[in-house]
């Protein structure tokens, strides 16, 4: 039996990245079993809240919680950790098991999983759109420089962009075991799966992608996510008759969000925890108040993507007066309410995107063939 064990980060990004690839692999070889391991209860709950992610996971396998989700006793959970690890190691002797991780197997005791199955352990870049070094530079403006951690527990590497920091540490990995592949959320199997769940509506809808509502380096030094959200909602509600869907992030403070919504006192705003791609299919405009890595999903779906932010001058200079993720943004507006009003009125319909995966197709096919053979 062939099994793929996926060890997710405590962020939905890793799940967003790996789930489409799992769909593609299982499509080629349906007998493969896929286990998604989660280490954090909030991550587990957020995955189950996202219908499309949850459905996709159960299309190819199942999600498992490391330890015991029903107990808060740390000693009892550690005992279950040991049982989980021993079970995984034993199965690797009796079955053809592959391990995909993003950094989870770097630390003890999870590193034991790697030591007993080295050749079939893959380190995968957690952002399928590739690493953007400009975001590191923005981070440095607000905080001290963050050191890059070298990962060691893998014999195969999968990445998406040439700026991935781990590329500097792959000298001991055979070139044929290093795969630069297509962004997984552009893969046809994923898009077809998501499109099947599309909701049809004639209503004009605006999707707003939420992030952290406090102060953060993706805003200016004096602005909070809450302030930007209030301004954005005020502009949309007063200048259009569109309904608004808010998509919270795992780090969004839901209590603070409810407090904001109570001040608007309108039935034109709703909240959804579904995947951004799925939501964007029925929203002809998507707005983000920060450089969100969910914007590409909305862009692919054909939604008109607006980044409405308030960057400091030094960040604008660094980003050359455009979004850090400009390739997935149709309209970049920095602290200009009038421009946002004009933009909202000028957009009339959803877009059709042209996507070219030719450059990375061969290595993508090579990776899938290696796993399936």
Q: What is the mean pLDDT of residues 318-338?
A: 94
* Choice between 114 and 144, residue whose per-residue pLDDT is larger: 114
Tell me, yes or no, whether 248 and 291 share the same domain. Answer: yes
pLDDT value for 347: 94
Tell me, yes or no, whether 239 and 168 share the same domain. Answer: no
pLDDT value for 280: 95
pLDDT tens, position by position, 11-44: 889 999 999 999 999 999 999 999 999 998 888 8
Taking Cα atoms as reference points, which of 27, 23, 28 lies closest to residue 36? 23
The CATH number that applies at residue 79 is 3.40.50
- The pLDDT of residue 70 is above 70: no
pLDDT value for 68: 65
pLDDT tens, position by position, 220-253: 778 899 999 999 999 999 999 999 999 999 899 9
The CATH number that applies at residue 285 is 3.40.50.12580
Q: What is the mean pLDDT of residues 260-280?
A: 93
Q: Are 272 and 246 in contact (CB under 8 A)?
A: yes
Average pLDDT, the chain: 91
Of 126-140, 240-254, 268-282, 337-351, the range with the lowest mean pLDDT is 126-140
Tell me, yes or no, whether 227 and 119 share the same domain. Answer: no
Share of the chain above pLDDT 90, in %: 72
Tell me, yes or no, whether 256 and 229 share the same domain. Answer: yes
Tell me, yes or no, whether 230 and 278 share the same domain. Answer: yes
Whole-angstrom distance, CA of residue 85 vs CA of residue 88: 5
What are residue 309's DSSP bridge partners? 334
Domain carrying residue 114? 2-183+357-372
Classify residue 258: in a domain, yes or no: yes
- The pLDDT of residue 206 is above 70: yes
- The pLDDT of residue 264 is above 70: yes
* Choice between 51 and 88, residue whose per-residue pLDDT is larger: 88
Domains identified in the chain, total number: 2
- The pLDDT of residue 145 is above 90: no
Tell me, yes or no, whether 29 and 174 share the same domain. Answer: yes
Question: Side by side, which strands form the sheet with 331-334?
Answer: 269-271, 243-247, 205-209, 285-288, 304-309, 331-334
Q: Work out the pLDDT band at 202, boundaries 50, 70, 90.
A: low
What are residue 33's DSSP bridge partners? 3
As a whole number of Å, the CA-based R_g of the chain is: 21
Dihedrals φ, ψ of 172, to 5°?
-95, 5
Tell me, yes or no, whether 92 and 15 share the same domain. Answer: yes
Tell me, yes or no, whether 219 and 321 share the same domain. Answer: yes
Q: Is the peptide bond preceding residue 109 cis, with omega within 30 degrees of 0?
A: yes
Q: Averaging pLDDT over each range in 130-139, 233-242, 320-329, 357-366, which range is the top one?
A: 233-242
């Amino acid at each position: 039996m062939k099994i793929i064990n996926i060890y997710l980060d405590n962020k939905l990004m890793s799940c967003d990245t790996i789930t489409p690839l799992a769909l593609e692999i299982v499509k080629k070889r349906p007998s493969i079993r896929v286990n998604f391991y989660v280490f954090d209860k909030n991550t587990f709950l957020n995955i189950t809240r996202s219908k499309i992610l949850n459905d996709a996971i159960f299309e190819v396998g199942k999600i498992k919680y490391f330890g015991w989700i029903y107990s808060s006793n740390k000693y009892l959970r550690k005992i279950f950790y040991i049982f989980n690890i021993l079970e995984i190691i034993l199965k690797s002797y009796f079955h053809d098991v592959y391990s995909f991780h993003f950094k989870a197997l770097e630390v003890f005791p999870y590193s034991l999983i790697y030591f007993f199955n080295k050749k079939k352990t893959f380190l995968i870049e957690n952002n399928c759109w590739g690493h953007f070094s400009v975001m590191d530079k923005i981070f440095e403006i607000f905080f001290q420089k963050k050191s890059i951690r070298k990962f060691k527990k893998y014999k195969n590497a999968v990445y998406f962009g040439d700026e991935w920091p781990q590329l500097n540490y792959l000298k001991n990995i055979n070139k044929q075991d290093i795969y630069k592949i297509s962004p997984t959320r552009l893969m046809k199997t994923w898009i077809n799966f998501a499109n099947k769940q599309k909701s049809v509506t004639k209503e004009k809808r605006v999707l707003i992608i939420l992030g952290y509502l406090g102060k953060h380096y993706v805003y200016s030094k004096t602005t909070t996510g809450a302030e930007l959200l209030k301004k954005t909602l005020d502009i949309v509600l007063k200048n259009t008759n569109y309904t608004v869907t808010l998509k919270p992030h795992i780090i969004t403070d839901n209590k603070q969000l409810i407090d904001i919504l109570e001040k608007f006192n309108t039935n034109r705003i709703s909240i959804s925890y579904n995947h951004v791609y799925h939501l964007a299919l029925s929203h002809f405009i998507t707005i983000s108040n920060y450089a969100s890595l969910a914007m590409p999903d909305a862009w692919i779906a054909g939604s008109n993507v607006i980044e409405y932010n308030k960057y400091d001058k030094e960040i604008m200079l660094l980003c050359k007066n455009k979004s850090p993720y400009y390739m997935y943004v149709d309209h970049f507006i920095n602290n200009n309410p009038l421009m946002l009003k004009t933009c909202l009125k000028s957009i009339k319909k959803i877009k059709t995107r042209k996507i070219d995966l030719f450059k990375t197709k061969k290595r993508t096919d090579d990776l899938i063939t290696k796993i399936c053979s």
